[in-house]
């Protein structure tokens, strides 16, 4: 009886809370519905990773096959190749784009001309608003073998044209360059805000002591924004197995010559869904991607928490 009374009180308390804060709950309702419809309900499809999917039988009617989809994914060598490419691009892009963003933020914070500073910041931020579709067309116009700007320039100089699409390794540099070009300005905004929040008295004291600009950056700016650096690192590390699909698809397209170097998990899943030949292995690749991201960010957070609990995410 006591337990029944307790449950009734809890239920009454929940209803009272809903009624008292109904405006706030109505405000968050659209966001909750979006997450529910697009994030939680599709989780039913995870069972495809453990099934030999047949269209005629549907998801639940198809026979179970255990971990066969995962075994085939990695036994064929495709799983390891996709993992290598995805991690390679994400780690390199993280280090270069975040490093350049930090440099940009520090340089802008040291500028004294307000108008020049704002103009420079706007120019650097502008590429973020340019769609990957436009970037892809831009890349095509540069590297097209017959009509591209690069080969037109080489031909006008009396040199032989270059077929960039026959040099897969060159596209590592192309992808990293355009990724950094697009994201440096956006990423620098966070660092600019972090630098602006530092105590100016520390810089004034350093000026009095005769510190130069490099010493102020090394001993005041970098240590001061250390929490921001760690949080950004952890958040991006959680996406280390999630490739930027739009970037790879718009720049590389469906060019099979470049798959060995540029194919990531997201583009592989997209092509598999288009062909519709093996839904089970596609689901296995997606589930593997999500689980590994979860494991990686938890390990990284545990390491940070052990070194300094104040900088951990949770």
CA torsion sign for 107, 110, 116, 122 is positive
Residues 193 and 80 placed together within one structural domain of the fold: yes
- 147-173 pLDDT tens trace: 899 999 999 999 999 999 999 999 999
214-239 burial, b at 16+ Cβ within 10 Å, e below that, comes to: eebbeebbeebbeebbbbbebebbbe
Residues 10 and 120 placed together within one structural domain of the fold: no
pLDDT of residue 114: 84
Residues 72 and 146 placed together within one structural domain of the fold: yes
Show Cβ contacts of residue 260 under 8 Å, excluding neighbours closer than 6 positions.
81, 168
pLDDT band, residue 12 (cuts 50/70/90): low
Structural domain total, the chain: 2
Yes or no: say if 184 and 104 are a contact pair by the CB < 8 Å rule. yes
Residues 166 and 208 placed together within one structural domain of the fold: yes
> Would you say residue 61 lies in a domain?
no
Residues 105 and 183 placed together within one structural domain of the fold: yes
pLDDT band, residue 246 (cuts 50/70/90): very high
Residues 88 and 41 placed together within one structural domain of the fold: no
> Would you say residue 285 lies in a domain?
yes
Token output for 109:
């914070």
Calpha distance 309→311 (Å, rounded): 5
Q: What is the mean pLDDT of the chain?
A: 89
Please indicate, yes or no, whether the overall pTM of this predicted structure exceeds 0.85: no
> What percent of the chain has a predicted confidence (pLDDT) above 90?
55
Residues 100 and 249 placed together within one structural domain of the fold: yes
pLDDT of residue 5: 46
Q: How many CB atoms are closer than 10 A to CB 125?
A: 15
- Give mean pLDDT, residues 49-58: 88
> Would you say residue 244 lies in a domain?
yes
Calpha distance 229→194 (Å, rounded): 9
Yes or no: say if 112 and 103 are a contact pair by the CB < 8 Å rule. no
- Give mean pLDDT, residues 76-90: 91
Q: Calculate the alpha carbon distances from 128 to 104, 120, 122, 135 in Å.
A: 15, 14, 10, 11
Largest CA distance in the chain: 94
- pLDDT at residue 13 tops 80: no
Beta bridge partners of 54: 58
Task: Determine the Cα angle at 56 with ends 53 and 62, to 5°.
Answer: 35
Three-class SS string for the chain? CHHHHHHHHHHHHHHHHHHHCHHHHHHHHHHHHHHHHHHHHHHHHHHHHHECCECCCHHHHCCECCCHHHHHHHHCCHHHHHHHHHHHHHHHHHHHHHHHHHHHHHHHHHCCCHHHHHHHHHHHHHHHHCCHHHHHHHHHHHHCCCCCHHHHHHHHCCCCCCCHHHCCCHHHHHHHHHHHHHHHHHHHHHHHHHHHCCCHHHHHHHHHCCCCHHHHHHHHHHHHCHHHHHHHHHHHHCCCCCCCHHHHHHHHCCCHHHHHHHCCHHHHHHHHHHHCCCHHHHHHHHHHHHHHHHHHHHHHHHHHHHHCHHHCCC
> Would you say residue 36 lies in a domain?
yes
Residues 46 and 92 placed together within one structural domain of the fold: no
Query: What's the CATH number where 145 sits?
Result: 1.10.3720.10
> Could you tell me the residue range of the domain that residue 285 belongs to?
67-311
Residues 39 and 90 placed together within one structural domain of the fold: no
> Would you say residue 56 lies in a domain?
no
- 179-210 pLDDT tens trace: 999 999 999 999 999 999 999 899 989 989 89
Residues 104 and 190 placed together within one structural domain of the fold: yes
Calpha distance 201→214 (Å, rounded): 17
Residues 42 and 76 placed together within one structural domain of the fold: no
> Would you say residue 57 lies in a domain?
no
């Amino acid at each position: 009886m006591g337990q029944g009374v307790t449950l009734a009180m809890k239920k009454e308390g929940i209803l009272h809370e809903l009624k008292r804060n109904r405006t706030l709950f109505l405000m968050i309702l659209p966001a909750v519905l979006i997450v529910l419809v697009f994030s939680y309900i599709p989780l039913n499809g995870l069972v495809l990773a453990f099934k030999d999917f047949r269209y005629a039988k549907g998801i639940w009617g198809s026979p179970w096959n255990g971990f066969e989809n995962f075994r085939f994914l990695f036994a064929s060598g495709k799983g390891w190749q996709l993992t290598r490419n995805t991690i390679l691009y994400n780690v390199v892009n993280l280090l270069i784009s975040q490093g350049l963003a930090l440099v940009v933020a520090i340089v802008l914070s040291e500028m004294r001309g307000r108008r020049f500073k704002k103009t420079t910041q706007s120019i650097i931020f502008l590429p973020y608003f340019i769609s990957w579709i436009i970037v892809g067309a831009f890349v095509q116009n540069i590297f097209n073998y017959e009509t591209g700007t690069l080969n037109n320039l080489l031909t006008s100089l009396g040199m032989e044209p270059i077929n960039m699409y026959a040099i897969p390794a060159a596209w590592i540099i192309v992808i990293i360059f355009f990724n950094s070009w697009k994201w440096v300005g956006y990423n620098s905004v966070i660092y600019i805000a972090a630098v602006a929040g530092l105590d100016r008295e520390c810089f004034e004291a350093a000026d009095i002591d005769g510190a130069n600009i490099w010493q102020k950056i090394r001993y005041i700016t970098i240590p001061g924004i250390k929490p921001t650096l760690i949080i950004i690192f952890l958040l991006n590390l959680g996406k280390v197995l999630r490739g930027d699909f739009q970037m790879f698809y718009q720049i590389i397209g469906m060019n099979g010559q470049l798959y060995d170097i540029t194919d990531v998990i997201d583009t592989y899943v997209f092509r598999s869904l288009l062909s519709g030949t093996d839904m089970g292995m596609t689901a296995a690749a997606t589930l593997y991607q999500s689980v590994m991201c979860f494991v990686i960010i938890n390990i990284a957070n545990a390491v940070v928490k052990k070194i300094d609990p104040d900088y951990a995410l949770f």
